[in-house]
C-alpha cells in the first residue's frame, strides 16, 4: 500500500493534485471534506465556518482529530482496490497529523509539499471563488496565518518531495502524474526513492 499525503497553503494546487489522482482511478480522502461535513453537522455554513470548526475539533478531540477520522477512510479506500493500493490524502496541516499517519502506515506514507508564491495563489483563488476567503486577499492572509499557526510550515519542510506549482496547470498536472506513478511503482520498494524530481535530498 502507498499513501501519498499532500500539504500546501491555500490555492497551492492540492485540489488539482487530487483531481489528477481521481482521473488515474486513485481514491482520494480529503481532510477538508471531513471538516466541511462536521461543519454542516453542526448546522453551520462551511464557506464561513470551516476554520472555526477545524479549530474546535482539535480543541475537543485533540491535535489528530481530523487525521483520526481520515485513517479508517484511507484503509477502506485501499481495501476497495485491486492489486497494490495507492490512496491520496489531500491536505495535511500539522506535524501531529503527519506523525499520526506515519504511526498508522509507516514507510508506506509519502508526504508531498505543493508550493506556489502568495500572489499566484491569491489570483488563482480569486478565479476559483469557492469560499469567502478566496475573493479577499486580507482574508486569505488570515487563513494562511491560521494554517501556519497549526504548524503547516514545519510540515512543508518535512515533506519527502516538493512540487513547485508556479507554471502552467498542465505542467503541474504532469508533475503530479509523475509522482503518483512513481508512488505506485515504489509500492513495496525502498521509500524515499520514489519521485522523479524535486526531492529534498
Ligand X SMILES: Nc1ncnc2c1ncn2[C@@H]1O[C@H](COP(=O)(O)OP(=O)(O)OP(=O)(O)O)[C@@H](O)[C@H]1O
* 74, 29 contact by CB (below 8 A): yes
Nearer to ligand X, 8 or 85 (CB): 8
* 156, 8 contact by CB (below 8 A): yes
Is residue 142 close enough to count as binding ligand X by CB under 6 A?
A: no
Q: Residue written as cell 481514491?
A: 27
Instruction: Judge whether 94 is annotated as a binding position.
Output: no
Q: Which stretch binds ligand X (CB under 6 A): 13-21, 65-73, 93-101, 152-160?
A: 13-21
Is residue 14 close enough to count as binding ligand X by CB under 6 A?
A: yes
Nearer to ligand X, 152 or 186 (CB): 152
**Residues 151-170: x where in contact with ligand X by CB under 6 A, - otherwise, as a string:** --------------x--xx-
Reduced to 3 states (helix: H, G, I; strand: E, B; else coil), residue 89 is strand
**Residues 72-111: x where in contact with ligand X by CB under 6 A, - otherwise, as a string:** ----------------------------------------
* 105, 1 contact by CB (below 8 A): yes
Instruction: Judge whether 171 is annotated as a binding position.
Output: no
H helical segments located in 91-190: 95-105, 118-128, 137-149, 152-158, 169-185
Is residue 175 close enough to count as binding ligand X by CB under 6 A?
A: no
Query: Binder to ligand X among 5, 8, 51, 195 (CB under 6 A)?
Result: 8
- Burial pattern 133-162, b for ≥16 Cβ within 10 A else e, equals bbeeeeebeebbebbeebbbeebbebbbbb
Query: Binder to ligand X among 2, 12, 71, 183 (CB under 6 A)?
Result: 12
Nearer to ligand X, 13 or 85 (CB): 13
Is residue 16 close enough to count as binding ligand X by CB under 6 A?
A: yes
Nearer to ligand X, 10 or 85 (CB): 10
What's the closest the beta carbon of residue 20 comes to ligand X, in angstroms?
A: 10
Residue 199 carries which DSSP code?
B
- Kindly report the CA angle at 18 between 59 and 83, in degrees rounded to 5? 105
Instruction: Judge whether 91 is annotated as a binding position.
Output: no
Looking at the chain, how many residues does it have? 201
C-alpha 50/C-alpha 47 separation (Å) is 6
Residue numbering of the annotated binding site for ATP = 8-15
Q: Which residues bind ligand X (CB under 6 A)?
A: 8, 10-16, 124-125, 127-128, 165, 168-169, 172
Amino acid at each position: 500500500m502507498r499513501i501519498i499525503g499532500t500539504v500546501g497553503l491555500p490555492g497551492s494546487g492540492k485540489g488539482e493534485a487530487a483531481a489528477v489522482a481521481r482521473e488515474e482511478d486513485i481514491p482520494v480522502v480529503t481532510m477538508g471534506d471531513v471538516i466541511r461535513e462536521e461543519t454542516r453537522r453542526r448546522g453551520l455554513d462551511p464557506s464561513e465556518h470551516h476554520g472555526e470548526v477545524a479549530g474546535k475539533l482539535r480543541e475537543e478531540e485533540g491535535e489528530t482529530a481530523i487525521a483520526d477520522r481520515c485513517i479508517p477512510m484511507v484503509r477502506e479506500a485501499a481495501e476497495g482496490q485491486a492489486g497494490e493500493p495507492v490512496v491520496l490524502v489531500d491536505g495535511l496541516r500539522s506535524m501531529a497529523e503527519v506523525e499520526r499517519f506515519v504511526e498508522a502506515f509507516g514507510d508506506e506514507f509519502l508526504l508531498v509539499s505543493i508550493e506556489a508564491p502568495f500572489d499566484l495563489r491569491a489570483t488563482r483563488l480569486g478565479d476559483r471563488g469557492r469560499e469567502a476567503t478566496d475573493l479577499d486577499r486580507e482574508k486569505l492572509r488570515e487563513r494562511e496565518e491560521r494554517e501556519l499557526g497549526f504548524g503547516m510550515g514545519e510540515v512543508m519542510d518535512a515533506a519527502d518531495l516538493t512540487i513547485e506549482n508556479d507554471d502552467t496547470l498542465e505542467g503541474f498536472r504532469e508533475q503530479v502524474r509523475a509522482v503518483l506513478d512513481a508512488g505506485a511503482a515504489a509500492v513495496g520498494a525502498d521509500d524515499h526513492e520514489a519521485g522523479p524530481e524535486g526531492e529534498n535530498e
